[in-house]
Structure 1
Amino acid sequence: MNSARSDSPPAAVASPDEADDREDGPRVALKILVAGGFGVGKTTLVGAVSEIRPLRTEESLTDASVGVDDLDGVAAKTTTTVAMDFGRITLRDGVAIYLFGTPGQERFWFMWNELSRGALGAVVLADTRRLTASFASIDYFERKGTPFVVAVNCFDNADHYDPPEIRTALDIDPHVPILLCDARHTVSAKQVLVSLVEHALRLAGGTRRV
């Protein structure tokens, strides 16, 4: 009996590296929170670095938020994150970072405890036009003992200050890194994440660079 003839091309054979990535996933998976006040650029930063289409839970601001949400300095903002943002970025040596952007408005802070479970650390985004909006995030991670860095998102129409001035204004411990960034740009946002990972490793006693 003749066997049935198949015109289908043979299946491609994956290289050992490709097979390892597919079967085992990233060698190291890290969870990082992106926190900060309302409108500081958390959703923008996650979107700038994510290699997958980011999950967003944005809703339009309505008249119901008037008198409830502090829109000082962000009057042009029309949407808000009501649950979280989620994205992923893979760094060198198979280090995958899973990003969780926290909601910035006070009425959604109850979600922070759930989102922070298992997190390596956090990025606290700050806006020099509204530095006081960063206090709640800084206080939260200080109380929990979670490693964090402060990344000042340099908006085009904002006054620029040096990190030592920002450290004094926010009353942050000397060991906490303060960086200037542009959350819209992938390279700048990625450097913030790398700085946080290295900071968390130093606190844990490690010396590895990513």
Structure 2
Amino acid sequence: MVSKPSEVAGPAEDEESVPAAPVAVKILVAGGFGVGKTTLVGAVSEIRPLQTEELLTDRGVGVDDTDGVEQKTTTTVAMDFGRITIRDGLVLYLFGTPGQDRFWFMWDELSFGALGAVVLADTRRLADCFPAVDYFENRGLPFVIGVNCFDDGYDYTAEEIREALDVGRGAPVVLCDVRERASGKEVLTTLVKHLLAVHQEQNRENVSAL
């Protein structure tokens, strides 16, 4: 007696029935004190953001430079965390770094596993983002410059910002308003495109070296 062969689904059918897992990318949001890191993460996050904001106290007088951001009453003491889906299958996990010098010891921990970063700049205090630029350049971590356009800030072009920060053509510069979700998402989308371009360039170099 010949038994009837069992019906087994082919590979194509199995693949179609199992959705692909989303790609998760860790991104840092860095910059100087009061530049808008917490605001950016909160504006773009599709989940309720984790924030570690504490009130500024008298102990910070003479330690934290508040020139230009005198109205600021709180500060991030650990990190901010949020999540945004850029497109189907691509999710960014955002980690906002603390801005004051005394909390920079946390940057090494926060940057572990990160694929890229956003360095926020304030044209009123442009030098405050230099340490973040140096940090990521020294570690070879791709980044973009997001120039947060404050109402009372200086009106510089992206090229003028690029020249002032001496980042060359390697790092995109995007003018933005971190209070607006669409503007913040544009910064992050620019970073993703930059990461892809860097990855493709590295692959070309690896092939050329063979």
**Cα offsets for 1:95-126 (capped at 9, x unmatched):** 11100000000000000000001111000000
**Cα offsets for 1:51-70 (capped at 9, x unmatched):** 00000000000000001111
Q: 1:59 pairs with 42, 54, 58, which one? A: 54
Report the CA distance between 1:177 and its aligned residue. Answer: 0.2
Q: 1:48 pairs with 43, 48, 55, which one? A: 43
2: CA distance, partners of 1:145 / 1:27 = 25
Q: What corresponds to 2:10 in structure 1? A: none
Q: What corresponds to 1:12 in structure 2? A: none
Q: 1:98 pairs with 84, 87, 93, which one? A: 93
2: CA distance, partners of 1:164 / 1:71 = 27
2: CA distance, partners of 1:157 / 1:124 = 20
Answering whether residue 74 of structure 2 is matched by residue 79 of structure 1, we say yes
Cα RMSD after superposing both structures: 1.4
TM-score by length of 1: 0.85
2: CA distance, partners of 1:191 / 1:56 = 22
| Amino acid aligned to 1:51 | E
2: CA distance, partners of 1:153 / 1:105 = 18
Report the CA distance between 1:139 and its aligned residue. Answer: 0.2
**Cα offsets for 1:150-180 (capped at 9, x unmatched):** 0000001112110111111111121210000
| Amino acid aligned to 1:85 | D
Answering whether residue 177 of structure 2 is matched by residue 182 of structure 1, we say yes
Report the CA distance between 1:91 and its aligned residue. Answer: 1.9
Alignment of 1:142-181 (within 5 A): 142-181=137-176
Q: What corresponds to 2:8 in structure 1? A: none
Kindly report structure 1 stretches of 4+ aligned residues shifted beyond 3 Å.
none
- Name the count of aligned residue pairs: 185
| Amino acid aligned to 2:56 | L
Q: What is the identity percentage for the equivalent residue pairs of Structure 1 and Structure 2?
A: 66
Report the CA distance between 1:195 and its aligned residue. Answer: 0.5
1: CA distance, partners of 2:171 / 2:44 = 23
| Amino acid aligned to 1:167 | R
| Amino acid aligned to 1:110 | F
2: CA distance, partners of 1:123 / 1:20 = 34
TM-score by length of 2: 0.85
Q: What corresponds to 1:123 in structure 2? A: 118
Give 5+ residue unaligned stretches, structure 2. 1-16, 202-210
Q: What corresponds to 1:10 in structure 2? A: none
